[in-house]
Structure 1
Amino acid sequence: MRLDLAGKSFAGRPVLGALRLAVGRGQRLAILGPSGIGKSTLLRILAGLDGDFQGRLEGRERLAVVFQEPTLLPWRRAVANITLPTGCDQAQARALMAEAGLTGHENKFPRQLSLGQQRRLSLARAFAARPDILLMDEPFASLDPGTAGRMMDLTARLLDRSGAGLVLVTHDAAEAARLGAAPVRLAGSPAVLAANGVSGLG
């Protein structure tokens, strides 16, 4: 996946400036920067969820997105939250739930799960889609340190096993390091990659 961005604006206000970014299977990238700098906007462009930008996005990779909010189907049980969006069978869904530490919660509704459990279910759903590249937007925010650490370790294991690439949006360089993701930093107004990007990514 390669993005050649000329610019992105909201209501005439430039948010992102010119930048280039490329990532493929097996590569891990973390987009760092303060809140409001445009990290999530950049991720939405990479995900194909925001097409209102100047530039070009190329790639045929299969993508999955994990947002800060779990975005689960509240009227469906946990297993169905994996099988319905991805098309995987129940055996695969249950196996992923077990790997995510959710054995025994298969028939619960999202409201019956803690935030950490909901986030792990969202992660299991993402990997059920067998992505070439996983896009994650602040997925560990507002979790207690222990829960966040366990979820990062789970993410690393699933990435290692699947060979998927990663683009992680975070404000915490320690999260990038724990997942083995090369850091790139957004800075300025409009935001661009610091030092005009990182060698090997363009």
Structure 2
Amino acid sequence: MRLELRAKSFGNQPVLGPLTLSVARGQRVALLGPSGIGKSTLLRILAGLDRSFDGRLTAPERLALVFQEPTLLPWRQAEANITLTTGATPARARALMAEVGLAGHEAKFPRQLSLGQQRRLSLARAFATDPGILLMDEPFASLDADTGARMLDLTEALLTRSGAGLVLVTHDPAEAARLGATALRLAGSPAVLG
């Protein structure tokens, strides 16, 4: 994945300035900076969700995105939240659910799962596509310390097993370090990588 960004604005308000970001399969990068600096905006550009920017993006064929909120289909059971959205087979969905500690929860609806379980389901869904690059937008926010630590360990294990690259948006340098990610800081107005 390679982004050559000249500028990103919202109306007349410049948000991101010139920057270049390259991430290869197996490489891990964390975007750090204060709230409102443009980290999530940059991630949305990388994900192809925001195409209103001046620059060029070359992305791998398979990307997966884990948002801060689980973004699950509330009217579908856990297993279907993987199979319907990714095309994974039921067997693959069940195997991934077992890998993230959700064996036996396949028939539960998202509202029947704790926030930590919902986040693990979102992680399983992301890996169901065998992504070349995994994009994560503050996926460990609002989790208690123990659940957050388990999620970090689980994410690290899945990344290592799959060989996927990572772009993580976080406020916490310790999360970046725990995932073995190179920390890149966004700063300035408009923000650039420093």
TM range (shorter): over 0.9
Q: Does 1:77 pair with 2:77?
A: yes
Partners of 2:38 and 2:191 within 8 A in 1: yes
Partner Cα distance (2:149, 2:79) in 1: 24
Partner of 2:25: 25
Partner Cα distance (1:60, 1:193) in 2: 22
Partner Cα distance (1:41, 1:182) in 2: 19
Partner Cα distance (2:128, 2:155) in 1: 13
Deviation at residue 59 of structure 1 after TM alignment: 2.9
SS in 2 for 1:130: coil
Deviation at residue 28 of structure 1 after TM alignment: 0.3
Partner of 1:152: 152
Partner of 2:48: 48
SS in 2 for 1:108: coil
Note the alpha carbon deviations across 1:29-88, whole angstroms, 9 max, x for none. 000001110000000000000000001101333100000011100100000000111111
Partner of 1:191: 191
Partner of 2:161: 161
Structure 1 runs of 4+ aligned residues shifted over 6 Å read none
Q: Does 1:60 pair with 2:60?
A: yes
Q: Does 1:178 pair with 2:178?
A: yes
Partner of 1:122: 122
Partner of 2:4: 4
Partners of 2:136 and 2:168 within 8 A in 1: yes
Deviation at residue 24 of structure 1 after TM alignment: 1.1
Pairs within 5 Å for 1:132-151: 132-151=132-151
Partner Cα distance (1:159, 1:59) in 2: 18
Partners of 1:4 and 1:21 within 8 A in 2: yes
TM-score (norm 2): 0.99
Percent of residue pairs bearing the same amino acid type: 77
Partner of 1:200: none
Partner Cα distance (2:91, 2:67) in 1: 25
SS in 2 for 1:126: helix
Partner Cα distance (1:104, 1:125) in 2: 16
Partner Cα distance (1:61, 1:36) in 2: 29
Partners of 1:72 and 1:110 within 8 A in 2: yes
**Matched pairs, number:** 194
Q: Which runs of 5+ in 2 are unaligned?
A: none
SS in 2 for 1:25: coil
Q: Which runs of 5+ in 1 are unaligned?
A: 195-202
TM-score (norm 1): 0.95
Partner Cα distance (2:168, 2:96) in 1: 21
SS in 2 for 1:135: strand
Letter in 2 for 1:182: T
Partner Cα distance (1:5, 1:84) in 2: 34
